Amino acid sequence: MRAAVRDRYGPPSVLRVEEVPVPSPAAGQVLVEVAATSVNLSDWETLRGSPLYARIGGLRSPARRTPGSDIAGRVTAVGAGVTRFRPGDEVYGDNLALTGGFAEYAVAAESALAHKPGGLSFVQASTIPQAGAIALQGTAGAGPGRRVLVNGAGGGSGSFAVQLAKRAGAHVTGVDNAGKLDHVRALGADEVLDHRRQDFTRCGPYDLVLDLVAHRSVLAYRRALAPGGRYRCVGGSVPALLRVLTIGWVAGRLTGRHLGVLAVREGPAHFEPLARLVLAGEVGIHVDRTFGLDDVREALTHVGAGRARGKVVVRIR
Ligand SMILES: NC(=O)c1ccc[n+]([C@@H]2O[C@H](COP(=O)([O-])OP(=O)(O)OC[C@H]3O[C@@H](n4cnc5c(N)ncnc54)[C@H](OP(=O)(O)O)[C@@H]3O)[C@@H](O)[C@H]2O)c1
């Protein structure tokens, strides 16, 4: 089969498409003929090995040769003990533990996958698992009268998060670079801020901040929150995340606010609710561009360079 492979961390040029053996599913695993794999910022981070948390499992060189986690495709074989799927089933899920999505076939744990709804194309389904779980958990607590801010609102998770917070009745502010602010407005944001020109921590206060790209000081985040407010970050620089986990936790407790890193729970129970909202027409999927497997480097660069509005998808077949 054809697969994108790399042997070291580095820029997109370390990635090449070559012939490799089709993997075999072990017990509890499923072999998927991949139709589409969406790109997440986490793919860019694990390609480059930066921030440092992207090297978990492989400090010096990548533990997995083929990146790509948000897959959608068709089951072609199942390992021992698999009960929920059989060959021919259409599935989708976040294969973060095993990756391998930028390839014609990938093995995934049965527990990572869900049956793909017939109303979603493979491309659409591949956009949901990781970004959907982040957005659903990151906007928990949004509701009428609450002021919600999403930092990184124009990307994959942010585009879902803005819509979810808006649908919950919150007043939503979206922060991203100037080129994405029209997109963020179109998602329903009440206010938009250009992060290169405006400092959101001085524009609040907010009841809930979901930060996809944390890199500021704890004092700045604390300043952005109303009394009782909650700041959750999911990604960003390692020093910023460590500061939030340590000083942030203490500073929050002392001042009646909550600052923390959101450890996103994965799996179908955490992304299927978003698929249901999409099917009901309550949340939209925004695919910025699709690429072929041969253009996987360009697909990753498009996301890594911050050009994507919403999601980018690699069509494998
Ligand atoms: N905590 C967990 O358990 C967990 C699980 C999975 C993933 N993650 C993490 O979640 C993060 C979000 O992923 P994603 O796929 O949604 O990312 P994405 O699609 O790339 O979206 C991030 C957005 O933030 C914007 N941005 C960059 N720097 C910014 C700044 N300083 N201020 C405001 N906006 C900025 C980006 O645009 P520009 O670059 O053009 O500015 C982009 O639009 C990743 O870091 C990933 O590792 C965490």
Q: For residue 48, give the amino acid letter.
A: R
Strand partners, 105: 33
Strand partners, 31: 77, 107
Atom of ligand 1 nearest to the CA of 264: 3
- Mean pLDDT score, 189-199: 97
pLDDT at position 126: 98
Residue given tokens 């080129």 in the structure block? 179
Name the residue at shortest CA distance from atom 47 of ligand 1: 42
In a domain, 273, yes or no: no
Q: Is 238 exposed, middle or buried (0-12, 13-18, 19+ CB in 10 A)?
A: middle
Share of the chain above pLDDT 90, in %: 92
> Rounded distance, CA 73 to CA 52, Å?
31
pLDDT at position 51: 87
pLDDT in tens, 37-82: 999 999 999 999 998 888 888 889 999 999 999 999 999 999 999 9
Check if 158 has its Cβ closer than 6 Å to any atom of ligand 1: yes
What's the angle, vertex CA 219, arms to CA 303 and CA 55, rounded to 5? Answer: 40
- Do 145 and 50 reside in the same domain of the chain? no
Cβ-based neighbours of 134, under 8 Å, separated by 6 or more: 157, 160, 161, 212, 234, 262, 264
Task: Tell me how far the alpha carbon of residue 256 lies from the centroid of ligand 1, in angstroms.
Answer: 27
- Do 198 and 136 reside in the same domain of the chain? yes
Structure tokens at 50: 């930066």
pLDDT at position 272: 98
Q: Buried (b) or exposed (e) across 169-184, using 16+ Cβ within 10 A?
A: ebbbbbbbeeebbebb
- Do 135 and 253 reside in the same domain of the chain? yes
- When the pLDDT of each residue in the chain is averaged and rounded to a whole number, the result is 96
Check if 214 has its Cβ closer than 6 Å to any atom of ligand 1: no
- Mean pLDDT score, 235-258: 91
Check if 213 has its Cβ closer than 6 Å to any atom of ligand 1: yes
pLDDT in tens, 254-267: 899 999 999 999 99
Helix or strand run (H / E) with residue 224: helix 218-224
Quote the number of domains for the chain: 2
Name the residue at shortest CA distance from atom 43 of ligand 1: 155
- Do 184 and 164 reside in the same domain of the chain? yes
- Do 61 and 109 reside in the same domain of the chain? yes
- Do 122 and 138 reside in the same domain of the chain? no
Query: Given ligand 1 and candidates 176, 232, 286, which is best to mutate, with the most ligand atoms within 8 Å of its CB?
Result: 176
Structure tokens at 68: 């790509």
pLDDT in tens, 221-239: 999 999 999 999 999 999 9
CATH (domain of 23):
3.90.180.10
Name the residue at shortest CA distance from atom 12 of ligand 1: 212
Check if 306 has its Cβ closer than 6 Å to any atom of ligand 1: yes
> Residue 112 pLDDT more than 90?
yes
- Do 114 and 224 reside in the same domain of the chain? no
Residue 39: give the domain boundaries.
2-127+285-315
In a domain, 34, yes or no: yes
CATH (domain of 244):
3.40.50.720
